[in-house]
Chains A and B, each alone.
Chain A
Amino acid sequence: MELMKDPEVLNPDECRGVCIFAEQRRGALSSAAMEMAGAGRRLADALGEDLHAALLGHGVGDLAEELRHYGIDKIHVVDDPVLADFLDEPYSAALCRVVRDVKPSILLGAATNIGRSLLPNVAVRLGAGLTAGCTGLAIDDATRSLVATRPAFGGTIFADVVMENRRPQIATVRRRVMAPAERRDAPSGEIVRHDLPPCAASARAKFLESVDELAGAVDLTAADVIVSGGRGIGGPEAFEMIRELADALGGGVGASRAAVDAGWIAYSHQVGQTGKQVRPKVYVACGISGAIQHLVGMRASDTIIAINRDPEAPIFRVATYGLVGDVHKIVPALAKRFREGG
């Protein structure tokens, strides 16, 4: 192990514009990329400067073309076999290369697992500041710097963070907070190709394979609707009715930790402090008491529907609609009513 030398920091006076990391995986752009394009465009407009995107991968020419429909001024592509799948080292080296060429004032990435691995590494390489898991981004009129708002302590408090004298100002942004850029029919924006920096050419880590556990299921962090079951649903078989309601509403299935720890459903469904932080339009909590550790994972949802037989359950304090009664009666009744429509 050899300590990294002091990074060569960018000169703030030379930095202009906003750059987004346009996340792609297995040949498809992530919806997170469009959210970043939306957020990045608003910041770039506030500054009166350009919006750039960095697209890393292998054989991503089509994706670069597709990005031309989202109002980005310049799309910087590094296309190389070593970038075929996400690995921390070559990706951060390649993204640094783009940042050093473009010299953006602001660098944004979604707070996905990839974004949260990649951007901290890039921040250290550039000696730049990073504000993680932001829910708000604005430009301070007086200083023209980024003001990044982020929750701390699971949303019990929010903080405004500035990275005044370092560039780029890096932020990772929570999923589903930023209105995505709209696709336009006419392409615009210029594609610029960058070489892979030599230091990225040999990745020490090796990507073996990607295992899709959610095949056919819903990525909760991107879901519009989530129906979650807790200890109160009584057992693993009750997730069948949870799934039916989720299907009726076109959403995914979540769970409290109690349900996961009991072995009723896989950990990948857990919502909360030690699970996924979600932000759907509609969150339905079935037989979940509403412990703070659960609330921090879901209370930013637009509409919260809680079903619990205990009218004093803390979940009702965050609920938009509180349904008092037995989950075994109410959940199937809801599934039936929503399937009927009308």
Chain B
Amino acid sequence: MNIVVCIKQIPDTTDVKFDRETGRLKREGQPTTINALDEHAVEEALRLKEQHGGAVTALTMGPEKAVDVLKHAVAMGADEAVHVCDDALAGADTLATSYLLARAIGKIGAVDLILCGGETIDGATACVGPGVAQNLQIPCVCFVQKIEGIADGKITVQRMMEEGYDRVECPLPALLTVVKGINVPRISSLKGKMRAKKHQPKALTVADLPEVKPERIGAAGSATRVTRTFSPEKRPEGLMLEGEADEIAEQLYQHLRK
């Protein structure tokens, strides 16, 4: 089983800062972290490898600092790490990102399974996973809450739905995106951290990738454009109700009846 896990670096959300002038997100100098669901994807890949053998490769597209998330994956136990970093990729939306990631996966070689997070915290589009699958023309199952098993070149999964889950069977190679319920990610061991420190992720630029058209990557390859950012309207000031439980219940009841 050769597994590629697509991971993304995101700003640490409890500490998001915005440029007052432009309303844009300040990324420079901000603490960053691995997108939480991507950590679940790495964990699931490691568990599959422990069962079925093979290798786990973590892949990210992002600025220089994004190397940190690859180190995080290596510390958890990923065998290889690939970092696609190129100024030409700046401003990529999900269409351009999935185009590029598919080509980076092509470069990695024989892959049986690709895992992505269900969505990122910063973009929360949930588009990149299915987009990569379509670029590679492989089957895709999104929002997987459990991998039941792999046998005879087929993977059986539980896909989370609003009212429960669906069981779906899918031939490999395939792409899955995962939700939080799938596992609890491990804490990296000291040995893993030491290994990550020394590990040099493979750095790729656009020139290293086959079949990449310049008009399909970065801002040029993007079909969406942000024209304005703004803060949400503040919620109106609330009303505090205090007193005995019965009194509070009565007050609230009278307010809501209106």
Contact = CB atoms under 8 A, between A and B. Distances in A.
Interface in B68-125: 93-95, 98-99, 102-103, 105-106, 111, 121-125
Interface residues of A, number: 93
A264 interface: no
Interface in A192-210: 204-210
B130 A117 contact: yes
A324 B248 CA distance: 9
B223 to A, nearest CB: 3
B20 interface: no
Interface in A175-231: 204-215, 219, 221-222
A6 B216 contact: yes
A269 B61 CA distance: 33
Contacts of B224: 129-131, 161-163
Size category, B interface: 35 or more
A323 interface: yes
B156 interface: yes
Given A117-B130, A124-B134, A88 B140 contact: yes
Interface of B: 13-14, 16, 18, 23, 25, 36-37, 93-95, 98-99, 102-103, 105-106, 111, 121-131, 133-143, 145, 156, 158-171, 173-174, 180-181, 211, 213, 216, 222-232, 235-236, 238-243, 245-246, 248-250, 252-253, 255-256
A30 to B, nearest CB: 9
Interface in A118-163: 118, 120-121, 123-125, 127-133, 147, 151-163
A321 B252 contact: yes
Given A123-B131, A334-B249, A132 B126 contact: yes
A47 interface: no
A121 B246 contact: no
Contacts of B18: 157
B226 A117 contact: no
A3 B102 contact: yes
Interface centre among B131, B145, B252 (most CB of A within 10 A): B252
Interface stretch (A48-56, A57-65, A69-77, A312-320): A312-320
Contacts of B111: 1
B136 A4 contact: yes
Contact of B127 (A127, A132, A303, A316): A132
Contacts of B142: 88, 113, 116-117
Interface string A157-171: 111111110100000
A89 B165 CA distance: 18
A274 B228 CA distance: 27
A337 B14 CA distance: 38
B164 A129 contact: no
Given A130-B125, A160-B227, A321-B252, 20 more contacts: A1-B138, A4-B102, A86-B166, A113-B162, A121-B131, A121-B134, A147-B227, A151-B232, A154-B13, A159-B228, A163-B224, A208-B167, A209-B167, A219-B163, A274-B180, A322-B238, A323-B248, A324-B240, A329-B245, A333-B249
Given A1-B111, A129-B223, A321-B255, A124 B95 contact: yes
B14 A305 contact: no
Name the residue in B99, B141, B230, B245 with the highest tally of chain A Cβ atoms < 10 Å from its Cβ. B245
Nearest to A111: B126
A299 interface: yes
A158 B130 contact: no
Given A129-B224, A292-B14, A316 B126 contact: no
B210 to A, nearest CB: 9
22 contacts: A1-B136, A92-B134, A113-B161, A120-B129, A120-B130, A123-B127, A125-B134, A130-B125, A157-B23, A157-B231, A161-B226, A204-B139, A205-B168, A207-B167, A208-B166, A214-B163, A292-B13, A321-B238, A321-B239, A321-B241, A325-B243, A337-B252
Given A204-B171, A322-B241, A324-B240, A88 B223 contact: no
Contact of A274 (B36, B226, B232): B36
A270 to B, nearest CB: 8
B136 A3 contact: yes
B167 A161 contact: no
Nearest to A131: B224
Contacts of B226: 159-161
A149 B252 CA distance: 34
A105 B248 CA distance: 52
A91 to B, nearest CB: 11
Contacts of A166: 223
B249 A330 contact: yes
Contact of B13 (A87, A153, A214, A333): A153
A117 B143 CA distance: 8
A147 B226 CA distance: 10
B249 A87 contact: no
B223 A128 contact: yes
A274 B37 contact: yes
A103 to B, nearest CB: 17
A336 B131 contact: no
